[in-house]
Structure 1
């Protein structure tokens, strides 16, 4: 009988940030898609003040993977233990801990400890799994360090907002239109080209060429995860608007007896280095925030403009909420 071996990995990074700021970024998983390159969407399922569970959709080895995690948070010790509840084969078990140590005022160290058990123990498959886990771990450390070192300006760099539109008609054609990104060119005013591939049903990779108000164009690329039964489409733009370092969000449909309210939420991280390049000399973060709010809000509302026509007589009217 073979004995499964537990593999242990450890890596750390030092950040020019207070330990409390760094710990907060690790503890709050909701904004991770804005800070971590491969994270697409994170949903907290429950939290009792000490233990939480969350589902994460992330790009792992080129494919979108869903994983379920349980964590135990200890803010006094700045330590978080975690374990994956149902790891994918060939990983039989995966867990570890995050810990934050204060090195000096304004300096802290983030350490990631991982333990993995790979079915079959040793061999090329185990080496591949361990190499991938170490690479992802270092990428996460880098992303959290970068965010932490912007802690003084992070509130100015982050922006979240929603736009809502009320549609008097059934929910199904509205969802079908939002799902069918490849049909948008020629129907959605700012989308001039669209390429869509599906890794599997409900998981889309998109490439859009968008028209700006000044007549120039810019390209965005993204990943979308679709939940038709819940009337939701979550997304992350892996190549966002030129003013942004990261962009994630969600389309959600809220039906009632008379129609449906469509909500588009955007969560963005401004790219401070791009502000003057995109908006011109002297532009600041306040102007960048206004510009992003206007552009993305206008695009979200414009996207829903063709819904009544595309759905025919089944949709009767559309108005802003």
Structure 2
């Protein structure tokens, strides 16, 4: 019989238990809170639970699985159980337990139980390492988010914005241009180097060097989840210094003239990097403007080149 292995991780958070529980319960917000989570889709939702599909990093790879979660707001607990796991995981479940402490702090315990495929020792070691790494990252991020959840200062560090381009061409051509990021160093002037891995169809690891207007080079590493021929969502694992979180989405929707392409960026700024990057006297508002302009400029340039590609294909038919 396959052995069941167990793990527990915990952290103390200086925030109300309800605040902490709210962050755990709001799975839609996980990509912006928890570093390992790339994308979440809610497949079913009821008053007491939900069925979700998650894409997340595990060690140095990207995995996706389907889970059921049961939410207990009164008991401050969220239990989870994978319905469909990916090797080397044969089965996995667990629970988030939130406990209010007498000193107004909150204890968070994250429990896991799992079985490895064929009880393989290497699989057990891989899963244990992934659970340890991800649990530590998630609990640390939960603490930072909960302790900084209130106030205008936290709100000022977060921004989300869209850029939109209309294309008189085939949506599939636009998608193919955005999907084929391995050629971006040939196609995009602001990209000088690119490396793309796709061991599982639709799951990409993208590393690239990007030029800024002042000639500096930023190296970024992203996970991309691709849904032909409509959507690519991504999360930067390695962000420029000004950002602690950068998630994005390319959305392609049919229109009477062809399609509408929307680039969405969701960012959390790093306040400690503002002065070192932008200079003495720089403010959070300066950083917001700088990041908005830089990201919007690059994504809009990419969409316009995708537009040229799609519209040229129409002319050449």
Q: TM-score scaled to structure 2, two decimals?
A: 0.89
1:154 is displaced (CA, Å) by: 3.1
- For 1:90 and 1:182, locate their aligned partners in 2 and report how far apart those are by CA, in whole Å: 28
Secondary structure, in 3 states, of the residue corresponding to 2:27?
Answer: coil
Show CA shifts across 1:190-246 (max 9, x none).
Answer: 2233222322332222222222122322222212121114x1111111112321011
Instruction: Determine helix, strand or coil for the equivalent of 1:189.
Output: coil
Kept after mapping to 1: 8 A contact 2:167/2:311: no
Match of 1:64 in 2: 62
Alpha-carbon distance in 1 for matches of 2:286, 2:121: 55
**1:132 corresponds to which residue?**
130
Describe the SS at the equivalent of 1:20.
Answer: helix
Map 1:265-304 to 2 at 5 A.
Answer: 265-304=264-303
Task: Report which of the two has the higher share of helix.
Answer: 2
Q: Is the 1:188–1:305 Cα contact (8 Å) retained in structure 2? A: no
CA deviations over 1:45-79 (Å, ceiling 9, x no partner): 22222211211111113221101111111222211
In structure 2, stretches of 5+ residues that fail to align are none
Q: C-alpha displacement at 1:127, in angstroms?
A: 4.8
- The 2-side partners of 1:171 and 1:118 are apart by 42
Aligned residue number for residue 237 of structure 2: 238
CA RMSD of aligned residues (A): 2.3
Residue 302 of structure 1 and its aligned partner are, at CA, apart by: 0.8
Give the counterpart of 1:74 among 72, 75, 86.
72
Q: Is the 8 A contact 1:167 1:315 kept in 2?
A: no
TM-score (norm 1): 0.88
Structure 1 residues without counterparts, runs of 5 or longer:
317-321
SS at 2:215's partner residue?
coil
- Cα distance in 2 between the residues matched to 1:121 and 1:218: 42
* Pairwise CA distance, 1:315: 4.7
The residue aligned with 2:146 is 148
Q: Report the CA distance shift for 1:199/1:90 in structure 2 as closer, same or farther (over 3 A).
A: closer
Q: 2:110 & 2:192 partners in 1: Cα distance?
A: 44
State the distance in 2 between where 1:27 and 1:20 align. Answer: 10
Paired residue secondary structure (1:31): helix
Q: How far apart, in 2, do the equivalents of 1:297 and 1:8 lie?
A: 45
1:308, distance to aligned residue in structure 2 (A)? 4.0
Q: Any idea what the Cα deviations from partners look like across 1:237-282, whole Å, max 9, x if unmatched? A: 1112321011111111001342100011111111121111112222
